[in-house]
Amino acid sequence: MSLFLSDELESAGITSRDITLLDAMGTHRRQTGAELRQMLGGQVVDKCRCAQHYGGDDIDMSPLGRTSFDYPLRANRLLVES
């Protein structure tokens, strides 16, 4: 997210503490703080909450039901609750 987008959201009354960036990493490992700063920029990391999705961590997942083939459907809890 660019600072421009952050500034636009804030001008609409959304404070930076209400902005959460959810990084969908697929099967990659979580990024370190330094890697997040390099990827997103230090100002963005300092302004907004940065969360990292890891599908293998059940506590971070919300059940959404089952498919027609009876496979469980889950999504990141932060996404579901937003």
pLDDT in tens, 42-61: 888 888 899 998 888 888 89
Q: Is the pLDDT of residue 23 over 70?
A: yes
DSSP β-bridge partners for residue 31: none
70: left (phi over 0), alpha (psi -120 to 50) or beta: left
What's the pTM?
0.73
Q: Is the pLDDT of residue 9 over 60?
A: yes
What are the structure tokens assigned to 81, written together? 């609750």
More confident residue, 69 or 26: 69
Tell me the CA distances in angstroms from 7 to 13, 36, 66, 72, one per residue in order. 10, 20, 39, 39
Question: What are the start-end ranges of the E strands in the chain?
Answer: 20-24, 49-53, 61-66, 72-76
